[in-house]
């Protein structure tokens, strides 16, 4: 009853993020359902996550406010290093950190992910990122973001290669070259466009193998 239609209509009119709703889901453990028990989650299968989201919508809620955490989680669980998992997963489980943003779509790429141009160049022990993302929902309310960027322009590579996945600490990035601008939309999904201007991130931000981010 706390998150009925009036709650969502009010938020939509005021263009606000449903902090109370996300907090309630986090404290109940639902947003950590896919995280293994050793990192503070429930260790449930993907089917369980689907049921949770279905029930949220069946009850009149809006799972889009935080569903990204569930589908982004797979990349970190399957391809993240043990160091990354130990560093982030426990805090994501408790809600201390939010993994809600997924930087993929670009103005000139749209749904053609293989055409993205945002570049991540490895210089010594850091990746330097330049480019732009658009329709990145929840970026203003997330602590962490998964970013897909191009690490190679080698024409000999397959189109599915040369892209890499990064886990970015957005709170640090905001003062180091990342700019977030809200986009007003008909339905409030907290959409944004993000600019990267020589953003430097640690080499350890890479998730999985370089050049294999699309897979």
Report residue 59's pLDDT band, with 50, 70 and 90 as the boundaries: confident
pLDDT of residue 142: 94
CA 124 to chain centre: 26
| pLDDT (tens digit per residue) in 157-201 | 888 899 999 999 999 999 999 999 999 877 777 899 999 999 999
Contacts of 37 (CB under 8 A, 6+ apart): 43
Q: How many CB atoms lie within 10 A of CB 13?
A: 9
* Percent over 90 (pLDDT), the chain: 73
Which among 89, 79, 94, 83 has a CA at the least distance from the CA of 36?
A: 89
Mean pLDDT of the chain: 92
- Give the best-scoring range by mean pLDDT among 30-39, 67-76, 151-160: 30-39
């Amino acid at each position: 009853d706390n998150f009925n239609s009036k709650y969502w209509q009010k938020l939509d009119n005021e263009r606000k993020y449903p902090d109370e709703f996300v907090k309630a889901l986090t404290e109940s453990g639902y947003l950590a359902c896919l995280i293994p028990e050793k990192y503070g989650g429930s260790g449930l299968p993907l089917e369980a996550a689907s049921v949770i989201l279905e029930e949220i919508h069946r009850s009149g809620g809006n799972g889009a406010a935080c569903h990204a955490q569930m589908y982004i989680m797979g990349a970190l669980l399957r391809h993240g290093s043990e160091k990354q998992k130990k560093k982030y997963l426990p805090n994501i489980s408790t809600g201390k950190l939010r993994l809600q943003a997924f930087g993929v779509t670009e103005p000139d790429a749209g749904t053609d992910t293989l055409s993205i141009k945002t570049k991540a160049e490895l210089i010594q022990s850091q990746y330097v990122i330049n480019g732009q993302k658009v329709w990145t929902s929840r970026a203003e309310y997330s602590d962490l973001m998964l970013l897909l960027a191009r690490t190679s322009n080698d024409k000999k590579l397959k189109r599915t290669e040369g892209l890499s996945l990064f886990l970015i600490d957005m709170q640090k990035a905001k003062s180091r070259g990342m700019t977030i601008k809200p986009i007003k939309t008909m339905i409030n999904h907290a959409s944004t466009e993000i600019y990267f201007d020589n953003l430097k991130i640690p080499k350890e931000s890479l998730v999985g193998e370089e050049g294999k981010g699309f897979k």
